[in-house]
């Protein structure tokens, strides 16, 4: 839960201090002329694009099947405009490099090199690795509970937060899955799914932080804590998807939830006598240091690795340590509850 909300916290701070600049690349007159000419002719010099035979307004779907774009390409919503923007961007960056100028952003994004139509291949791969790490952690947690630790007579674990961590694991894997999809192709639907899954994980993580740190075991009390937060997060997600994808408001919401759970976990780690509290400190402090990469935003090296990609890389070991803490917590609680049950 530490991994996905750090970015919301620091990114919002960047917005407040004005670190994010307007995209200079798409304001370049030469770039604009290139895109306009390409959209009219379907070509840049001697390079012509198949997508320009298929209008981006969906008219191609009414054509015969042999004139329609293949489904495996259509799902990414690549069209004439996308191809023109990408190739014009590549040409302009070559010209800028020849003049000794550094890369600039186009339409809010750095100029990445595409691989088989994937916009940010390194971020996609690292998002997939994060997903794999969460799956490994969740599977190890499952095996520990049901095959290594003692069970009750009804074959249920003694650990009283089992179900909560299972849900957390599923939400984490879902969030990183849509992160990979979003970095593969940034369109409206993938953006909303990425934002929505991240907000859902963030809200649930806050609930889990409260329940675990305050040792809330009574079901009625858990419902009282979770219900208002679930209602708020659900309303917020519906607002983003059906009314307005308000980036500023979303950042404020994420900051409040992120700061709240960071404070909860930090205070709990400081006052509790948990044998593995040092792992919690490593994840909290390590996540904060890793987010310096988000503050120091730099262009992608060789068109592939930027600061955000490195941040994705840094969350991989932190995820391993985090799930290790969760397993240690299961052992610690099970040991205490098992002794009391005797």
In a domain, 6, yes or no: no
> Confidence band (pLDDT; 50, 70, 90) for 106?
confident
In a domain, 152, yes or no: yes
Please tell me whether residues 161 and 90 are part of one structural domain.
no
For 78, the enclosing helix (H) or strand (E) is: none
Q: Which residues contact 143 (CB under 8 A, 6 or more apart)?
A: none
Average pLDDT over residues 157-185: 95
Q: Which of 25-39, 49-63, 72-86 has the lowest mean pLDDT?
A: 49-63
Rg (CA), the chain: 24
Examine the pLDDT at 56 and tell me if it is beyond 50. Answer: no
Please tell me whether residues 92 and 131 are part of one structural domain.
no
In a domain, 68, yes or no: yes
Q: At what angle do helices 121-143 and 307-341 cross, to 10 degrees?
A: 10
Q: 65, 99, 133 — which closes off a domain? A: 99
pLDDT at 80 (0 to 100): 78
Please tell me whether residues 129 and 260 are part of one structural domain.
yes
- Percentage of residues of the chain with pLDDT beyond 70: 84
In a domain, 109, yes or no: no
pLDDT, tens digit, 9 for 90 and up, residues 292-340: 776 677 888 888 898 889 989 999 999 999 999 999 999 999 998 888 8
In a domain, 223, yes or no: yes
Using alpha carbons only, what angle is made at residue 282 by residues 279 and 283, rounded to the nearest 5 degrees? 90
The enclosing domain of 130 has a CATH number of: 1.20.1070
Please tell me whether residues 162 and 248 are part of one structural domain.
yes
pLDDT at 11 (0 to 100): 45
In a domain, 35, yes or no: yes
The dihedral built from the CA positions of residue 58, 113, 91 and 189, taken in this order, carries a sign that is positive
Please tell me whether residues 193 and 334 are part of one structural domain.
yes
pLDDT at 10 (0 to 100): 45
Please tell me whether residues 241 and 309 are part of one structural domain.
yes
Please tell me whether residues 145 and 92 are part of one structural domain.
no
Distances in Å between the Cα of 284 and the Cα atoms of 13, 159, 276, 291 are 18, 24, 13, 11
In a domain, 83, yes or no: yes
Please tell me whether residues 230 and 333 are part of one structural domain.
yes
Q: At what angle do helices 188-213 and 247-271 cross, to 10 degrees?
A: 30
Using alpha carbons only, what angle is made at residue 322 by residues 177 and 332, rounded to the nearest 5 degrees? 135
> Confidence band (pLDDT; 50, 70, 90) for 46?
confident
pLDDT at 295 (0 to 100): 66
pLDDT at 87 (0 to 100): 86
Average pLDDT over residues 273-286: 90
Average pLDDT over residues 238-250: 88
Q: Give the structural domain span for 254.
A: 121-341
Examine the pLDDT at 146 and tell me if it is beyond 80. Answer: yes
Examine the pLDDT at 163 and tell me if it is beyond 90. Answer: yes
pLDDT, tens digit, 9 for 90 and up, residues 9-34: 444 444 433 333 446 777 888 888 89
Please tell me whether residues 136 and 221 are part of one structural domain.
yes
Please tell me whether residues 29 and 176 are part of one structural domain.
no
pLDDT at 126 (0 to 100): 96
| Total tally of structural domains belonging to the chain | 2
Q: Which of 141-145, 211-215, 248-252, 310-314 has the lowest mean pLDDT?
A: 248-252
In a domain, 325, yes or no: yes
For 47, the enclosing helix (H) or strand (E) is: strand 47-48
Q: Which of 141-155, 171-185, 287-301, 311-325 has the lowest mean pLDDT?
A: 287-301
Examine the pLDDT at 174 and tell me if it is beyond 60. Answer: yes
Output 56 or 312, whichever has higher pLDDT. 312
Check: pTM over 0.85? Answer yes or no: no
Please tell me whether residues 62 and 193 are part of one structural domain.
no
117, burial (CB in 10 Å: exposed 0-12, middle 13-18, buried 19+)? middle
Alpha-helical regions (H) of the chain: 2-17, 29-41, 71-74, 80-98, 121-143, 162-184, 188-213, 219-242, 247-271, 277-290, 292-295, 307-341
According to DSSP, the residues that pair with 340 across neighbouring strands are none
Please tell me whether residues 191 and 277 are part of one structural domain.
yes
């Amino acid at each position: 839960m530490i991994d996905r909300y750090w970015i919301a916290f620091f990114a919002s701070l960047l917005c407040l201090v004005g670190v994010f600049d307007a995209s200079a690349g798409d304001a370049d007159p030469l770039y604009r002329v290139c895109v306009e000419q390409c959209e009219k002719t379907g070509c840049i010099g001697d390079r012509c694009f198949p997508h320009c035979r298929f209008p981006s307004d969906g008219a191609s779907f009414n054509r015969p099947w042999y004139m329609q774009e293949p489904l495996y390409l259509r799902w990414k919503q690549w069209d004439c405009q996308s191809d023109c923007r990408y190739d014009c961007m590549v040409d302009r960056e070559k010209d800028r490099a020849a003049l000794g100028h550094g890369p600039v952003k186009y339409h809010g994004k750095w100029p990445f090199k595409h691989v088989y139509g994937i916009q940010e291949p390194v971020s996609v791969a690292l998002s997939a690795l994060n997903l794999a790490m969460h799956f490994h952690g969740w599977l190890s947690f499952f095996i520990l509970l049901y095959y290594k630790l003692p069970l009750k007579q009804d074959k249920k674990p003694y650990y009283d937060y089992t179900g909560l961590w299972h849900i957390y694991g599923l939400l984490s894997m879902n969030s990183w899955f849509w992160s990979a999809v979003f970095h593969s192709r940034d369109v409206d639907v993938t953006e909303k799914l990425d934002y929505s899954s991240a907000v859902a994980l963030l809200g649930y993580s806050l609930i889990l932080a409260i329940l675990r740190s305050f040792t809330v075991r009574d079901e009625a009390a858990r419902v009282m804590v979770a219900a208002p937060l679930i209602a708020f997060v659900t309303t917020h997600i519906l607002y983003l998807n059906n009314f307005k994808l308000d980036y500023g408001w979303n950042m404020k919401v994420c900051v409040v939830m992120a700061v709240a759970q960071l404070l909860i976990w930090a205070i709990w780690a400081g006052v509790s006598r948990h044998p593995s509290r040092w792992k919690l400190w490593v994840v909290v402090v390590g996540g904060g240091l890793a987010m310096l990469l988000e503050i120091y935003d730099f262009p992608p090296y060789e068109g592939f690795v930027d600061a955000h990609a490195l941040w994705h890389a840094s969350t991989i070991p932190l995820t391993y340590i985090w799930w290790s803490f969760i397993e240690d917590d299961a052992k610690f609680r099970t040991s205490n509850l098992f002794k009391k049950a005797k």
